[in-house]
Chain A
């Protein structure tokens, strides 16, 4: 097996907050009727809930996010993802559902610091100030799609496609530069 490498190998920049690429993260895309009993059962077996609209729930070291009316994103450890994908795919085999390991197609970033909000505010048209805890917002950062949520106290996690990870890191680095905070 080849060695897994994240998009930017954990690159970190210090500004008025710290922005870093989160390293290897497992992500599994689940597409299904979210009200289906089979889905709830399959996720329950993994001790995971089915999140409500726009919610992201964290349980047992994994997070599960509502991405659209028929899509969930399961965030887990990178090495756990292939086996977890297989188990979920098997559990949902009889349903009209799709489970795909997208770990290597995505990049994740962490913005840490008291003014973490401002870094994203400058890049996205979304209303970050009113973004509640436990809600994932799919929007854009400058010209590329991104999803972000409050993953802890003064911390925002952001997901983008891996192919644009360098661009997103550039955005975050510039947006977080010392002296460029908004208020």
Chain B
């Protein structure tokens, strides 16, 4: 079972209280972008076995979106953090590196 801590209200809850929102830190390509960029934005998603960054919404709780760094293989959650970030914060990266020294890094 996946247990997440909502960074907006501090509640520790299990998966069914949250709604998943797919991959985090996507950059939007809208009007003016090339077809390839737009296709990538719409369809290309990472599907790693290991460290992954995701969007979640505390649907049955405070209703806020937040981001989570977790391992898709072990369900270990490294950190949850505010949605208002365009890339993983340094402290989250440091936490992951401490636990997964051979992780190739974000991107």
Contact = CB atoms under 8 A, between A and B. Distances in A.
Contact of B17 (A54, A67, A68, A139): A139
Contacts of B17: 125-126, 139-140
Interface string B28-60: 000000000000000000000000000000001
B89 interface: no
A140 B14 CA distance: 11
A139 B9 CA distance: 12
Contact of A68 (B9, B14, B16): B9
A137 B11 contact: yes
B10 interface: yes
Contacts of A126: 13, 17
A126 B14 CA distance: 8
Interface string B1-18: 000000011111110110
Contacts of A36: none
B62 A140 contact: no
B64 interface: yes
Interface string A44-83: 0000000001100000000000011101000000000000
B19 to A, nearest CB: 12
Contacts, number: 38
Contacts of A145: 60
A106 interface: no
B2 to A, nearest CB: 12
Interface in B60-95: 60-64
A115 interface: no
A125 B8 contact: no
A125 B18 CA distance: 11
A68 B9 CA distance: 7
Nearest to A68: B62
A131 B39 CA distance: 47
23 contacts: A53-B10, A54-B9, A54-B10, A67-B62, A68-B9, A68-B62, A69-B9, A69-B64, A125-B13, A125-B14, A125-B16, A125-B17, A126-B13, A127-B12, A137-B11, A138-B9, A138-B11, A138-B60, A138-B61, A139-B13, A139-B17, A139-B60, A139-B61
